[in-house]
């Protein structure tokens, strides 16, 4: 069984985001970039399936500039077998990513596609669902457990009221939640081996996919800084401030 995993290059989660002076976007100059945390979980799940003998090949796919190859190398160092980079310097919206992935899936014919439930830069939470709709495949979103048996998959997903278990017929699209697993660290020998693993480069034009944006960003602003807290001497003073200053009671 072949597993395709999407990985995205994003600003590292430890970095404090800075907005450009002209408010056109986030300042990425000299900023540490890394793999989207939810995509790390997706790669880990695919690797565990291969180690269990369920999967035979794990392919890491990324859409972005040439620098996104570093993110694919990270996936290869974790244990993925090969990578595919759809190279574009244009910002690609979730629908565009889903269309590009569909084109690659038609060539690679995987039985399982795993993506992070969302990327920490845009928080769209759309690509997996859109991809499943375009493919006409079943989908298990926000997965906290995945068990494959023959041609079916049992996916436990996190919902507002608790947990829901779905019985899905393969092929399927799965989006990962935080509690699915804990990603491994790449060992030094595997990092060295990853340098020799193949990465196939494609372009949206070669795949025949239009990725023209449908949305226009008007401006990007940083959130207002939180005001410092105030110590009060008594409950009565607290109630007075909540009522007369904050206006919440």
Domains and CATH numbers, the chain: 2-244 (3.40.50.620)
139, 129 Cβ separation under 8 angstroms: yes
CA distance 154 to 143: 10
Q: What is the mean pLDDT of residues 228-247?
A: 89
- Mean pLDDT to the nearest integer, 16-34: 89
The string of pLDDT tens digits covering residues 169-224 is 999 999 999 999 999 999 999 999 999 999 999 999 999 999 999 988 899 988 88
**Is the link from the previous residue into 171 a cis peptide, with omega within 30 of 0?**
yes
**Pick from 96, 103, 119: which is nearest to 39 by CA?**
119
| pLDDT value of residue 228 | 83
Secondary structure E strands in 88-231: 112-116, 138-149, 152-159, 162-169, 172-176, 199-202
Burial class of residue 151 (count of CB atoms within 10 Å of its CB; 0-12, 13-18, 19+): exposed
**Mean pLDDT, residues 137-158 taken together:** 93
* pTM (2 d.p.): 0.86
Per residue in 52-97, pLDDT tens?
A: 999 999 999 999 999 999 999 999 999 999 999 999 999 899 999 9
Its sign, for the CA torsion 55, 56, 62, 68, is positive
């Amino acid at each position: 069984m072949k597993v395709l995993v999407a990985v995205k290059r994003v600003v590292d989660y430890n970095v404090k985001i800075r907005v450009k002076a002209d408010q056109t976007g986030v300042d990425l100059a000299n900023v540490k970039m890394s793999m989207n945390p939810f995509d790390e979980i997706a790669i880990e799940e695919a690797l565990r399936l291969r180690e269990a003998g369920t999967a035979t090949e794990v392919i890491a796919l990324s859409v972005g500039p040439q620098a996104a190859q570093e993110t694919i190398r990270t996936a290869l160092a974790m244990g993925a077998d090969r990578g595919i980079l759809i190279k574009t310097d244009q910002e690609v919206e979730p629908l565009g990513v889903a269309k590009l992935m569909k084109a690659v899936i038609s060539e690679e014919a995987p039985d399982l596609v795993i993506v992070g439930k969302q990327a920490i830069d845009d928080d769209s939470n759309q690509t997996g669902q859109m991809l499943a709709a375009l493919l006409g495949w079943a989908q298990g979103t926000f997965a906290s457990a995945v068990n494959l048996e023959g041609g079916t998959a049992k996916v436990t997903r996190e919902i507002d009221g608790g947990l829901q278990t779905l019985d899905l017929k393969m092929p399927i699209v799965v989006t990962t939640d935080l509690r699915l697993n804990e990603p491994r660290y790449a060992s030094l020998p595997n990092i060295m081996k990853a340098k020799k693993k193949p990465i196939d480069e494609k372009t949206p034009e070669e795949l025949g996919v239009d990725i023209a944006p449908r949305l226009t960003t008007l401006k990007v602003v940083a959130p207002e800084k939180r005001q410092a807290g105030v110590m009060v001497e008594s409950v009565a003073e607290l109630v007075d401030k909540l009522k007369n200053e904050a206006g919440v009671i």
